[in-house]
Amino acid sequence: MSTAEETGAGDPQAWAEVTPDAARRLLIAAVEAFAERGYHATTTRDIAGRAGMSPAALYIHYKTKEELLHRISRIGHEKALDILRTAAGREGSAAERLADAVSSFVRWHAGGRTTARVVQYELDSLGPDARAEILALRRQVDAEVRGIVEGGVADGSFDVPDVKGTTLAILSLCIDVARWFSLDGPRTPDEVGALYADLVLRMVGSK
């Protein structure tokens, strides 16, 4: 899978919430540029060039480079939150729901690692208002995982003396997959998801 495939450049359904098509192309180009060069080293000319457009065309759709990063980050965090809410709301035991949450979250970070790196590691590049919005989404992400862990502790299926710290460790473990995962490596996103689900169940002392 190429970077273009990961970011959805060849998939008309990827980033479908971004319209019109020119705005979507620019956003995908920004994801690729931010992941490759970092936010601060990327210029609007870099982004426009990747999208096959002029720098002036970019400003028709996005007032600033930060607006692009903000939209990428918001959409990415909303997708991550939806993944965890779906797992948390499913039928089954706390162990089954936690395993589903972790495996799904890890697959998203591995399969879309280029996008995930930008979403998860460029937070400090946002201005105060945009950063506050993303932090609020992150708190909701934390709450979904913490709720599953708390449920398992309450029904006796998990042995977790520090729910808050354990939740942070689980999320950190999953998110870091975007930093190191490679499709040329020995495991697929599904296999890494299954491995991490097993590790997390061991972490919480699943019975």
Q: Quick one: pLDDT at residue 16? A: 86
3-state secondary structure 114-161: HHHHHHHHCHHHCCHHHHHHHHHHHHHHHHHHHHHHHHHHHCCCCCCC
Q: What is the pLDDT of residue 13?
A: 53
Residue 166 half-sphere exposure toward CB, CA atoms < 13 A: 22
Read off the tokens for 139: 């708190």
Mean pLDDT by 10 residues, the chain (207 residues): 49 75 94 94 95 93 95 95 95 96 96 93 95 97 97 96 97 95 91 97 93
Biggest alpha carbon–alpha carbon distance for the chain:
60
